[in-house]
Every structure is written in C-alpha cells, then in structure tokens.
C-alpha cells in the first residue's frame, strides 16, 4: 500500500514537472496585434490566453515585439491593413529566427533557442466568436472590408460583383454587366443600354440646327 502511494506521488511529481517544462515550449497560440510597423511589416503582439503558474495563479504574458506578419504570396502578393486588435495565430519557430529575419535565405542560427517565445510570427485572420465577419457569404471568393460595404466578389456562378456602398458593378456570366442596376449589353462594337443601341439609335424632336434633341427612341 505504501509502495503504491509512493509510486502515485512520484507519478504526479513527474507529471507536474513535465507540465511546467512544457509551458516553456511554444508552438502556436491565439493573440492580437498591439502595434504594426508598415515599413518592417513587423508587429507587437499580445498572447490571448492567460498563463497559469505552479500555484494556479493566472497572469498576462508580456507582449512580443518585432514579430513578422504574414502577407500571402511571393512576387505577387496580397497586401492588407493591419490595425491594433487584429486577431490571429501566433506561430513559434523551432529555431531562432533572428538571423533569417535580418538576411533571409539560409541564415545562421546565432542563438540556440528552441520553440522560444521570442521567435514568433503572426498569421492574421483567425477570429474569436465576438469578432467573426458580419454578413459572411460562403460563395466563391470575396475581397472585402470588415463591414462588408466594400468588396470584389467572384461568385460560384461565374458572376463578378464589385461594390463600395455608393455604387456597384456586376459582370454577369453571359458577358452582360450592370452598373448600379442599369443593364449594359456589349455585342462586338455595338453596345446597348436598356435595349437601345448606342451606335444606331434614333431620337425624336429633331430640327437641324443648334437645338438639343429629345431622348433616344430606338
């Protein structure tokens, strides 16, 4: 009985010690941006989960500085605005990234860090429930602002829609397009609007001279 209790106690000690060691092994964790430098494209980020110490006391970790921010692409890429409060995933490198950040390519490893909090990178876009995108459309691809008032939308029916809150432009699957609801039908060199040709249309109330004619009829 005493031996069994001793083994159980030792197992708990080993488990607790291992748990404390693992707290310093950083992999990834949610967080948000505090500040962003558009020149270096690095941010100061705050980890979004409280730390718990060995006495079960909780505390907020210090911000991480000079964190590279992810912008997808290579020579052609997507650039987007990063504001304070922007949520995302903080990734931690397996090795020290100081040399790589400065020189790129295959860089030296100046400090023997492993899964360290200082070797962080930020991937924006992961959102908590209070910050999910309003009016989300699970349809094709949409480049938009957070409010959804400005967007370029490639729909899954081959339609392309652009809107900014003041006007809209829609290229339909058959090649016709709408500008603020007005249908424009291009056909070779001839364009029609509301069924009236802009090439061969005729007008009423015409008297040759310097007067202005009535609107088009055909």
Structure confidence by residue, pLDDT tens digits, 99-132: 999 999 998 887 778 899 999 999 999 999 999 9
| Residue 154: CB atoms within 10 Å | 15
- Is residue 197 classed as helix, strand or coil in its secondary structure? strand
User: Comparing 17 with 49, which gets the higher pLDDT?
Assistant: 49
Which residues, in sequence order, are CB contacts of 131 under 8 Å at separation 6+? 87
The answer to whether the CB of 64 falls within 8 A of the CB of 58 is no
The answer to whether the CB of 184 falls within 8 A of the CB of 176 is yes
Q: State the sign of the Cα–Cα–Cα–Cα dihedral 74, 80, 82, 88.
A: negative
Looking at the fold, whether 109 and 8 belong to one and the same domain comes out as yes
Looking at the fold, whether 79 and 181 belong to one and the same domain comes out as no
Least confident of 15-24, 173-182, 183-192: 183-192
- Give residue-wise pLDDT tens across range 42-79: 999 999 999 887 788 889 999 999 999 999 999 999 99
Looking at the fold, whether 79 and 182 belong to one and the same domain comes out as no
Looking at the fold, whether 72 and 160 belong to one and the same domain comes out as no
Residue 189, pLDDT score: 59
Length of the chain: 218
User: Comparing 140 with 107, which gets the higher pLDDT?
Assistant: 140
Looking at the fold, whether 126 and 159 belong to one and the same domain comes out as no
Q: Is residue 157 part of a domain?
A: yes
* pTM of the full structure: 0.76
Looking at the fold, whether 87 and 168 belong to one and the same domain comes out as no
Residue 182, pLDDT score: 80
Least confident of 37-41, 56-60, 182-186: 182-186
- Is residue 34 classed as helix, strand or coil in its secondary structure? strand
Looking at the fold, whether 13 and 121 belong to one and the same domain comes out as yes
Burial class (CB in 10 A: 0-12, 13-18, 19+), 5: exposed
Range of the domain at 39: 2-131
Alpha helices in the chain, H assignment, sequence order = 2-22, 98-103
- Give residue-wise pLDDT tens across range 88-100: 999 999 999 999 9
CA distance 8 to 120: 38
Which one, of 55, 136, 126, 137, lies nearest residue 86 by Cα?
Answer: 126
């Amino acid at each position: 009985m005493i031996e069994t209790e001793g083994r159980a106690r030792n197992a708990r000690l080993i488990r607790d010690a291992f748990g404390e060691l693992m707290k310093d092994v950083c992999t990834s964790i949610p967080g948000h941006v505090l500040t962003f430098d558009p020149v270096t494209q690095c941010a100061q980020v705050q980890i979004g989960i409280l730390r718990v110490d060995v006495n079960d006391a909780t505390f907020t970790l210090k911000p991480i500085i000079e964190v590279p921010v992810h912008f997808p692409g290579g020579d052609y890429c997507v650039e987007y605005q990063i504001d304070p409060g922007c949520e995302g995933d903080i990734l931690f490198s397996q090795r020290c990234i100081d040399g790589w950040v400065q020189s790129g390519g295959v860089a030296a490893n100046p400090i023997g860090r492993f899964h360290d909090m200082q070797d962080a990178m930020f991937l924006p876009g992961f959102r908590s429930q209070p910050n999910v995108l309003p009016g989300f459309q699970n349809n094709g691809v949409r480049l938009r602002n957070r409010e959804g008032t400005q967007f370029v939308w490639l729909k899954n029916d081959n339609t392309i829609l652009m809107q900014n809150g003041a006007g809209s432009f829609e290229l339909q699957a058959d090649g016709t397009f709408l500008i603020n609801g007005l249908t424009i039908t291009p056909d070779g060199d001839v364009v029609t609007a509301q069924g009236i040709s802009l090439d061969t249309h005729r007008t009423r109330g015409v008297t040759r001279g310097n007067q202005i004619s009535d609107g088009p009829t055909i």
